Amino acid sequence: MKSGQNWDAAKTRKFQRRLLRWYEAHRRALPWRHNPTPYRVWISEIMLQQTQASTVVPYYDRFLKRFQDMKSLARASEQEILELWSGLGYYSRARNIHKAAKLIIKEHGGVFPSEIKTIRSLPGVGRYTAGAICSLAFNKPEPVVDGNVRRVLCRLNGIKGYVPESRYWSQMSALLPRGEASSFNQAVMELGAMVCAPLKPLCPHCPIRDFCRAQKLGIQSASPAVRKKQVSERLQLVTLVLQQHDRILLSLLDESSFIPGKWGLPFRIMQGGESAQEAAAALCKKVLGRAIPLAHCAQVSHSISRYRMVIFGFCGNVDFNFPPMQRARSYRWMQPLSNKGPITSSLFHKVLQKHRVLRQWAE
């Protein structure tokens, strides 16, 4: 990447002014842009990782309404946080937010650190997120580089193919206007999201098309080399809806489980060649210690991170005392709740919604 670095000061400043004026006039009214405190910027940037802004907005609003500051977030249980995160995916992000909040309370007196090195040491914070927090919240001259920024820079320089990551960061550093890092970084990202799109860039509407080598060379497809997509792992699961009067049985989820939350329906991954009925019967015997009649009551699809799943739900009635004393910590009977219950994952809610008697559990 050379063109941006070879501009003289006058051309660089003209480019900066053009882009900043466009951003001021056309930026989206996203909630984290209002009152961009370090806490609000941090939460938004973690949520925006691997997730589109339009998807994040309602989750962000609910999260900030419940956890208005670092103290309330640090004091919350992981279960509460995962309940509000449910549906966003990549649940390690939510767990890292919780860990970081506790660390900031303990080591920084609840004040979000302003030094990039310290910010990068927080759980779940990498180079991009640290740069975003420093520039957007503290207006420090730190660059940011995400997919949108890479695409804008590649087209600006007329490059199609691989570019070392360090070059993106060095060019963004060179282009940052003094005292306006926050607006400039957001302007480049906004341009990539709204105008300099991956497949059909809106070049006639681009405020910096006069500076764009790809436009001059007629290579609008110029863009960074695309990383190979992570291969999705396809799974088949069975889950049990075990009833006793007006209660259903919940199982304590393993902390290492890819399904979020503390409690859920008993489930297991099906093995190759195993039918759903066979897997459900084996799971039932493992959970209850004996077999009971089971009926197929649901089939749903669900995705969590890289997992693409088909879930088969089986219902049954338990007419004996369960769980025994030695297993009471792992299982519990719960009555339907009108609002929030102990079940966090929308996977289990989908199964319950398929059963007309149990819909009240999933509302």
Q: What would the pLDDT profile of 321-360 be if each residue is shown by its tens digit? A: 999 888 888 999 988 654 456 787 888 888 988 765 455 4
Predicted pLDDT at 218: 80
Residue 297 in 3-state DSSP?
strand
Tell me the residue type at 341. G
Residue 195 has pLDDT above 60, yes or no: yes
In angstroms, the Cα distances linking 47 to 34, 63, 91 are: 16, 10, 10
Confidence of residue 228 (pLDDT cuts 50, 70, 90): low
Task: Work out the percent of the chain whose per-residue pLDDT is above 70.
Answer: 91
Residue 69 in 3-state DSSP?
coil
Residue 346 tokens, joined? 């929308």
Reduced to 3 DSSP states, what percent helix, strand and coil does the chain have, rounded to the nearest 5? 50, 15, 35
- Pairwise CA distance, residues 336 & 29, whole Å: 39
- Pairwise CA distance, residues 254 & 151, whole Å: 40
First to last CA, the chain: 53
Nearest of 100, 81, 105 to residue 91 by alpha carbon: 81
- Pairwise CA distance, residues 35 & 58, whole Å: 17
Domain residue spans of the chain = 3-145+166-190, 233-362
| Enzyme catalytic residues | 45
Predicted pLDDT at 108: 96
Domain 233-362 bears CATH identifier 3.20.20.70:
no
Count Cβ atoms below 10 Å from residue 29 Cβ, excluding itself. Answer: 6
Nearest of 76, 48, 70 to residue 60 by alpha carbon: 48
Confidence of residue 1 (pLDDT cuts 50, 70, 90): low
Which homologous superfamily is 3-145+166-190 in? Answer: Hypothetical protein; domain 2 (1.10.340.30)
68 compared with 1, residue with greater pLDDT: 68
Confidence of residue 31 (pLDDT cuts 50, 70, 90): very high
In sequence order, which residues have a C-beta less than 8 Å from that of residue 53 and are 6 or more positions away?
28, 30, 193
Residue 223 has pLDDT above 80, yes or no: no
Instruction: Give the number of residues written for the chain.
Output: 363
Instruction: Determine contact, residues 142/181, Cβ cutoff 8 Å.
Output: yes
* Mean pLDDT, residues 193-211: 93
Tell me the residue type at 117. K
Residue 237 in 3-state DSSP?
strand
Residue 143 has pLDDT above 80, yes or no: yes
Confirm whether pTM is higher than 0.85.
no
